[in-house]
Amino acid sequence: MAHYEEVTVRGYDEFCQAISERKGKDIFAYFSGDKDAQGKSWCPDCVTAEPVVRGEMTHLPEGSVFIYCQVGERAYWKDSNNQFKKTLKLSGVPTLLRYGTPQKLVEDECFKSDLVRMMFTED
Amino acid sequence: MPPIENDTGKNELKSQIQLLIDSNQVMVFSKSYCPYCVKVKDLFKELKLEFNVMELDLMEDGTNYQDMLLEMTGQKSVPNVFINKTHVGGCDKTMQAHKDGSLQQLLCGESEAYDYDLIVIGGGSGGLACSKEAAALGKKAMVLDYVVPTPKGTTWGLGGTCVNVGCIPKKLMHQTAMLGTAIQDARKFGWEIDESVKHNWDTMKEAVNNYIGSLNWGYRVALRDKNVNYVNAYAEFVEPHKIKATNKRGKETFYTAAKFVLATGERPRYLGIPGDKEYCITSDDLFSLPHCPGKTLVIGASYVALECGGFLAGLGLDVTVMVRSILLRGFDQEMANRAGEHMEEHGVKFLRKYVPVKVEELEAGSPGRLKVTAKSTESDEVIEGEYNTVLIAVGRDACTDKIGLDKTGVKVNPKTGKIPVSDEEQTNVPHIYAIGDILEGKWELTPVAIQAGRLLARRLYGGGTLKCDYINVPTTVFTPLEYGCCGLSEDRAIELYGQENLEVFHSLFWPLEFTVPNRDNNKCYAKIICNKLDNDRVIGFHYLGPNAGEVTQGFGTAMKCGATKEQLDNTIGIHPTCAEVFTTLEVTKSSGGDITQSGC
Ligand SMILES: Cc1cc2nc3c(=O)[nH]c(=O)nc-3n(C[C@H](O)[C@H](O)[C@H](O)COP(=O)(O)OP(=O)(O)OC[C@H]3O[C@@H](n4cnc5c(N)ncnc54)[C@H](O)[C@@H]3O)c2cc1C
């Protein structure tokens, strides 16, 4: 058994649902462009970042939650009024954040394993 | 093998030798039969040192090596010994070095002997800049930052005073207050706004602190990304090259470094009267205060006091400022008084020439009720007042007394706690440097600390020669009517040059944006001080009016370039602005001419 829970969601509503079911937990959320049938995301940076982030997941704190969230198709994401951008104030994908804190890694910051590990291991 | 004659061959040989010297901690050029060489090699064996030997007599081109070594070191005989890239010499020199300990020292070689090339104590404006620059130049750098909680228990994240409890929250709260004024003005411009405009402290505090939180995180990311080792622990020296780091769980770790930079900044001073630490707050607490401070007494007349008093009044709170003697000590006194008068006209009460003697709690709460007793500095009069919050802003003390400086021999001014440094920010102990607010006789400003830290790292590790220039530093006090200045105050200029050698040009002005709301006419003021002995060069620049920081910045550059009055006159203004007043200053103070403004 992993020492953290991994949840996979798609879209803003599912994301909010996942969050509300895990109130009070240490939640890490990773936002990525949707994957196609071949499992490849339309967002090239997400393709680069994913193995880096996954590679550090063993460092996630005990009892924490990792939410893998696909934000949608490219067209939806490019709309500057989409709910991820408007409500969650995301500025790009991939974004890795520690929910409810200012800790956030955006785009090429997610390529750097030591930055990802810092988020997973330090307060 | 024939002697090498051509340059290419020589250079190649030279770099081969250099490579051997550079890549071996101990390098011995030797001859297999030479008894002195044997002696040296035996010494290194005895010391259990790894060493590389090149027996020149067994090599085809040994003589060429020997000739080149002569050229490189001035020594032809063997053995020819190098330790950590340093030329030691022959057998006698090596034996001598072993005896007097210098061999050991060479073996340790600065970088090998210490954990770090550079340890910076304090991760504020100066310390972050310095450590990042050192790391960018390839050095192994560590920065330690630890916030000792205030007596009220307030604490904050990485980044030092400016980001957490200084410039940033201060300016954002000043902006909050100015928006209040803008809303009032807006009605005069036709905006129809409900009469009941209210301000919510919690909303502002949350928003400001969220922004600060993102900055704290950003600094951590930047340090990690730039390979600076950040440790959240309190540092103090235990030896000249060694510190003890104590983290919040009390765990102690020791680190050594070849060089140190002190960048510990300052913390607010308390009054030393009954009730001050128990019931009063300082600027360290104000910006994250969990409740609106309510009726507030600000004690002190520092820029921090006036800025905080100013924005609290701008939020609609009842604010009193208690002043012992003068406003804004060290700043131009005419400007200081004009800024103070404007505050007074806008509802801030001033209790002048009083000092507090005790603070008592009447009722706990958020906020509670406090009673402040104060006495006159001129008579026996004693006054009392009731406030919800008492904010002490009577100055700041350098954090230099609890960092083990006695273990290093670094000199501290015993009266002020400040550290005197050379013009290269070096203390009296050569491997220890200091930057930022803790320096004696230097500006206490974020950009100054950053500049000093960055340039110091470049001089230490990047072959830089540029020193931090502490002259003509522009700055701004964010009182409700902002005050920007650069260069000398009028008071100081008179002291230095004598009244007769100065010409002061000045003018009142009425910003266009104040005309329609019809407020603050003849309150904004511009003044320059010129040195008659030097072509009317501008040696003091003073501006009281909106956007003072934005206005003053560019004139700071002009003064760095040596701007004269004539050059200001020849500059074409931007109309309609406030800053344009400096291109049309005509009235001299000595003439006593009228400077009031009546229109466009
Ligand atoms: C209310 C207020 C408003 C200000 N407004 C402005 C402004 O508008 N513009 C401007 O330019 N300047 C302003 N300043 C001044 C500015 O904040 C300072 O000049 C600047 O922060 C100095 O930087 P520093 O690196 O010297 O120290 P600091 O930024 O104070 O950083 C020192 C750091 O070292 C830490 N530290 C201390 N001792 C140790 C130790 N032993 N071990 C580990 N860590 C330690 C401290 O906790 C702190 O984090 C303001 C200051 C205040 C208080």
Provide the shortest C-alpha distance from residue A1 to chain B (in Å).
31
Tokens (6 digits) for B194: 């409900």
pLDDT of B585 above 70:
yes
Tokens (6 digits) for B584: 């049309």
Per-domain residue ranges of chain B: 7-112, 116-268+397-461, 276-394, 482-583
CATH number of the domain residue A33 falls in:
3.40.30.10
Q: Tell whether A3 is within 8 A of chain B (Cβ).
A: no
**ipTM of the complex as predicted:** 0.90
Q: Tell whether B209 is within 8 A of chain A (Cβ).
A: no
Looking at beta carbons, which residues of chain B come within 8 Å of A102? 210, 213-214, 216-217
What is the Å distance from ligand 1's center to B348 Cα? 28
Collapsing DSSP states into helix, strand and coil, what is residue A21? coil
Q: Closest residue (by CA) to atom 13 of ligand 1?
A: B167
Q: Which CATH architecture has domain B7-112?
A: 3-Layer(aba) Sandwich (3.40)
Find the CB nearest A112 among B210, B220, B225.
B225
Q: Give the residue from chain B lying closest to A112, CA to CA.
A: B225
Q: What is the DSSP string of B80-109?
A: EEEETTEEEESHHHHHHHHHHSHHHHHHHT
List the beta bridge partners of residue B354.
B376
B2 band by pLDDT with thresholds 50, 70 and 90: low
Q: Tell whether B220 is within 8 A of chain A (Cβ).
A: yes
pLDDT in tens, B295-337: 999 999 999 999 999 999 999 999 999 999 999 999 999 999 9
Collapsing DSSP states into helix, strand and coil, what is residue B389? strand
Report yes or no: B238 and B244 within 8 Å, Cβ to Cβ.
yes
Q: What pLDDT score was predicted for residue B481?
A: 98
Under 8 Å CB-to-CB from B292, ≥6 apart: which residues?
B201, B202, B315, B317, B367
Report yes or no: B425 and B439 within 8 Å, Cβ to Cβ.
yes
pLDDT in tens, B251-278: 999 999 999 999 999 999 999 999 999 9
Looking at beta carbons, which residues of chain A come within 8 Å of B216? 102
pLDDT of B600 above 60:
no
pLDDT of B3 above 80:
no
Q: Which CATH number fits domain B276-394: 3.40.1030.10, 3.50.50.60, 3.40.50.720, 3.20.20.150?
A: 3.50.50.60
Contact A102 B224 (CB under 8 A): no
Mean of all residue pLDDT scores within chain A: 94
Q: What pLDDT score was predicted for residue B99?
A: 74
* A10-to-A14, A41, A70, B154, B407 alpha-carbon distances in Å: 6, 13, 5, 40, 60
Q: What is the mean pLDDT of residues B349-375?
A: 97
Q: What pLDDT score was predicted for residue B1?
A: 57
Residues 78-97 of A with CB under 8 A from B: none
Q: What pLDDT score was predicted for residue B83?
A: 86
pLDDT in tens, B31-45: 999 999 999 999 888
Size of interface A-B (CB pairs under 8 A): 22
- The HSE-up count of residue B129 (CA atoms within 13 Å, CB side) is 20
pLDDT in tens, B389-398: 999 999 999 9
Contact A103 B217 (CB under 8 A): yes
Angle at B124 between CA B121 and CA B125, to 5 degrees: 125
pLDDT of B118 above 60:
yes
Give the integer Cα–Cα distance in Å for B375 and B395: 20
Q: What pLDDT score was predicted for residue B109?
A: 61
Provide the shortest C-alpha distance from residue A111 to chain B (in Å).
11
B100 band by pLDDT with thresholds 50, 70 and 90: low
In total, how many domains does chain A have? 1
Q: What pLDDT score was predicted for residue B599?
A: 53
Q: What pLDDT score was predicted for residue B68?
A: 87
Tokens (6 digits) for B201: 């402290």
Q: Closest residue (by CA) to atom 2 of ligand 1?
A: B166
Tokens (6 digits) for B209: 């602190």
Report yes or no: B134 and B226 within 8 Å, Cβ to Cβ.
no
* B39-to-B35, B36, B88, B156, B530 alpha-carbon distances in Å: 6, 5, 15, 62, 74
Mean of all residue pLDDT scores within chain B: 94
Q: Tell whether B210 is within 8 A of chain A (Cβ).
A: yes
Q: What pLDDT score was predicted for residue B321?
A: 98
- Percent pLDDT > 90 in chain A is 91
B482-583 and B276-394 share a CATH fold: no
* B150-to-B193, B298, B346, B413, B548 alpha-carbon distances in Å: 41, 18, 32, 25, 32
Looking at beta carbons, which residues of chain B come within 8 Å of A56? none
pLDDT of B95 above 90:
no
Q: How far apart are the first and last CA of chain A?
A: 24
Q: What pLDDT score was predicted for residue B48?
A: 80
Contact A118 B224 (CB under 8 A): yes
Looking at beta carbons, which residues of chain B come within 8 Å of A104? 214, 217
pLDDT of A55 above 70:
yes
Q: What is the mean pLDDT of residues B132-146?
A: 98
Q: What is the mean pLDDT of residues B502-527?
A: 97
Provide the shortest C-alpha distance from residue B490 to chain A (in Å).
46
Give the integer Cα–Cα distance in Å for B350 and B341: 10
Q: What pLDDT score was predicted for residue B87?
A: 81
- CB atoms closer than 10 angstroms to residue B392: 26
Q: What is the mean pLDDT of residues B582-593?
A: 96
pLDDT in tens, B168-193: 999 999 999 999 999 999 999 999 99
Catalytic residue list contains A43:
yes
Looking at beta carbons, which residues of chain A come within 8 Å of B230? none
**Strand stretches in B207-290, DSSP E:** 228-231, 233-239, 242-247, 252-262, 266-268, 281-282
Assigned fold of B116-268+397-461: FAD/NAD(P)-binding domain (3.50.50)
Tokens (6 digits) for B566: 């004539």
* B410-to-B430, B434, B456 alpha-carbon distances in Å: 9, 10, 18
- CB atoms closer than 10 angstroms to residue B124: 29
Q: What pLDDT score was predicted for residue A86?
A: 94
Provide the shortest C-alpha distance from residue A11 to chain B (in Å).
25
- Catalytic position from the list B174, B199, B506, B575: B575
What is the Å distance from ligand 1's center to B503 Cα? 37
- Interhelix angle B201-225/B125-136, rounded to 10 degrees, is 20
Q: What pLDDT score was predicted for residue A1?
A: 64
Question: Computed from CA positions of residues B2, B5, B11, B12, in that sequence, does the dihedral angle turn out positive or negative?
Answer: negative
Give the integer Cα–Cα distance in Å for B142 and B118: 6
Tokens (6 digits) for B244: 């003890």
Nearest ligand 1 atom to alpha carbon B435 = 26
What is the Å distance from ligand 1's center to B434 Cα? 13
Tokens (6 digits) for B210: 């969220």
Strand pairing of B116-121 and B141-144? parallel
Provide the shortest C-alpha distance from residue B428 to chain A (in Å).
38
**Which residues span the domain enclosing A24?**
5-121
Q: Tell whether B206 is within 8 A of chain A (Cβ).
A: no
Residue with the two structure tokens 């009031």: B596
Looking at beta carbons, which residues of chain B come within 8 Å of A115? 221, 224-225
- Percent pLDDT > 70 in chain B is 97
Cis peptide preceding A102, ω within 30 of 0: no
* A59-to-B29, B59, B335 alpha-carbon distances in Å: 51, 56, 57
Strand pairing of A95-98 and B396-398? unpaired
* B459-to-B18, B339, B419, B435 alpha-carbon distances in Å: 26, 40, 20, 14
Contact A101 B221 (CB under 8 A): no
pLDDT in tens, B516-535: 999 999 999 999 999 999 99
B364 band by pLDDT with thresholds 50, 70 and 90: very high
Q: Which residues line ligand 1 (CB under 6 A)?
A: B 121-127, 144-147, 160-162, 166-167, 170, 234-236, 263-265, 283, 304, 399, 403, 436-437, 444-447, 449
Give the integer Cα–Cα distance in Å for B436 and B450: 8
Nearest C-alpha neighbor of B429 from the set B407, B450, B455, B451: B407
Collapsing DSSP states into helix, strand and coil, what is residue B416? coil
Task: State phi, psi for B266 to the nearest 5 degrees.
Answer: -130, 160
B86 band by pLDDT with thresholds 50, 70 and 90: confident
Strand pairing of B116-121 and B86-89? unpaired
Assigned fold of B482-583: Enolase-like; domain 1 (3.30.390)
Q: What pLDDT score was predicted for residue B73?
A: 82
- Percent pLDDT > 90 in chain B is 83
DSSP secondary structure code for residue B301 in this structure: -
Contact A102 B216 (CB under 8 A): yes
Q: What is the mean pLDDT of residues B136-160?
A: 98
Nearest C-alpha neighbor of A95 from the set A81, A87, A85, A82: A85
Give the integer Cα–Cα distance in Å for A92 and A46: 10
Find the CB nearest B224 among A102, A104, A114.
A114
